[in-house]
Chain A
């Protein structure tokens, strides 16, 4: 079974085995090449973030830091006060995720399990809204936020993302599989609809709520345009807005900017690695019925 990938073909069965082995080797060579290309920018970011100032802009380029230094991170968190932006991002993303999960689970469950007139019609109209880009309404939304005194506040970022058509759709699809008999039995026992939701429905929805929560956390964390518009004060900026701002001022400080990029994207990358299976299910569920 140690046939070379491009050996001389022997007749019969051996050829097929050798061809198969060659195919396997080629396949994995392509897969590994793809993985290297995919990871290289992130690996370089991590390496450059640990280099002393100026080392990332030498020729030929250095791939590994020497000596290793945490100076860039120290500057970020002391002089540039990025910790503040990190806290802003955490508060905004967690609040938006918690509220959005609650609000959309109520609506998704209602669409799946309550019978009322115009239900399917309303749901179809709602789904049509999925293709409307949010940017269309951004200008009046800003004027509204200004009238509500929410400009340059956490709530100004959070409120527009609290209800999600995608979330309602995702949760409705999942809630539809809850057996009606279970709900009816609780109703006969005299439980109120909210008690049924809290005691029976919510525990059953946990997997899909986890999926939706991971989704919302990541999209709020990564969002750029709306926070850029609504936040006007450095101290209120989320990480992406602060980073874009710094990148404009510190064009020459490659190592420092790589440290800033790492701080910005590491939390979501770690969240993804920890919660992968929930996230992946959300994508494939959403695509089953366009």
Chain B
């Protein structure tokens, strides 16, 4: 068979594939897969500041870190805050993105590219810099936001100093920063809807609102699922905003899971315990992913 040119070709392709994939595969195995597996093991040990100096001193403690975690009120606070941020911020952000996409992509809109670029600008800016800017915008004495509220006769709000307003303030800022990203994806989705569907609806006498409800929304189904999933995963990673703007306060009102992980792991060097916190993110994201793919399968079944 050695003389068969097809076999020789396949053989050389296989060898080339190994060579081409080796750098990426090695990096992914060593710096992505291995740490995740190691994190699982780490979460079963009492690895702490002594472990950093001499990793061999760490001992297996079974599920003790997880048991401690579940009994720690601060963990539940952080989890609750993160879920609040995801559950309110995620849908709000998707809704604003869709609204912006509908406006920018409307047939009558002029200067589409300009509006699109302006709405997108906050997406590319640096989160830390944006958090610094908004910290001053939210200032109850000199901030522009409260000045605007007073100007229209509303009471000023101590955005970052009040434990009921701090989280909404972070959400508002995040929506401002991120809506342009999903807006672009929605615009692509809107442009993929066949025009004759709208024509048919118009012939049937459907109003603009009916066309939106019965043509646009169902046609955007897959886009919604993609946007919803990526947005929710992104929102579970809340960290820089509270780190810069509130230090997790006031009274831990904006303390997030990643912040808890960071403090336990890199301030107190309780790496075993912090690894257990990291694994709480797992079921959260896995659950969201499964839910989304279930919905997607159902939407596909309905479309067929």
Q: Interface residues, chain A, CB within 8 Å of chain B?
A: 20, 23-24, 27-28, 30-31, 34-35, 37-42, 44-45, 48, 56-61, 103-104, 106-107, 109-111, 114-117, 119, 126, 129, 131-144, 146, 159-160, 162-163, 165, 168, 187, 193-194, 197, 218, 221-222, 224-225, 229, 239-241, 243-244, 247, 254, 257-258, 260-262, 264-265, 268-269, 271-273, 276, 279-280, 283-284, 287-288, 290
Contacts and interface: CB of A to CB of B under 8 A. Distances in A.
Given A42-B122, A133-B236, A224-B239, A140 B282 contact: no
10 contacts: A56-B136, A57-B139, A138-B35, A141-B31, A163-B23, A247-B132, A262-B129, A264-B126, A280-B184, A290-B229
Contact of A272 (B121, B134, B286): B121
A240 B126 contact: yes
Given A40-B144, A143-B55, A168-B24, A240 B129 contact: yes
B32 A222 contact: no
B108 to A, nearest CB: 5
A239 B126 contact: yes
A137 B103 contact: no
Contacts of A280: 120, 184
Interface string B168-193: 00000000100011001100100000
B181 A140 contact: no
A136 B13 contact: no
A19 to B, nearest CB: 11
Contacts of B103: 27, 30-31, 34
Contact of A59 (B141, B222, B230): B141
A276 B202 CA distance: 36
Contact of A265 (B108, B126, B134): B126
B225 A290 contact: yes
A37 to B, nearest CB: 8
Interface SS of chain A: helix, strand, loop or mixed?
helix
B20 A240 contact: no
Interface of B: 9-10, 12-14, 16-17, 19-21, 23-25, 27-28, 30-36, 38-39, 42, 52, 55, 100, 103-104, 106, 108-110, 115, 117-122, 124-130, 132-137, 139, 141-144, 147, 176, 180-181, 184-185, 188, 222-223, 225-227, 229-230, 233, 236-237, 239-240, 243-244, 258, 261-262, 265-266, 271, 274-275, 278-279, 281-282, 285-286, 289, 296
A107 B24 CA distance: 6
Contact of A136 (B229, B240, B282): B282
A287 B265 contact: no
B39 A225 contact: no
A114 B14 contact: yes
A45 B130 CA distance: 9
Contacts of A287: 185, 188, 223, 226-227
Q: Which 4 A-B pairs have the closest CB atoms?
A: A137-B35, A140-B38, A163-B27, A107-B24
B129 A106 contact: no
A243 to B, nearest CB: 5
A166 B181 CA distance: 16
Contacts of A57: 139, 141-142
B28 A165 contact: yes
Contacts of A137: 32, 34-36, 38-39, 278
Contacts of B226: 287, 290
A115 B147 contact: no
Contacts of B225: 290
Contacts of B52: 143, 146
A115 B25 CA distance: 17
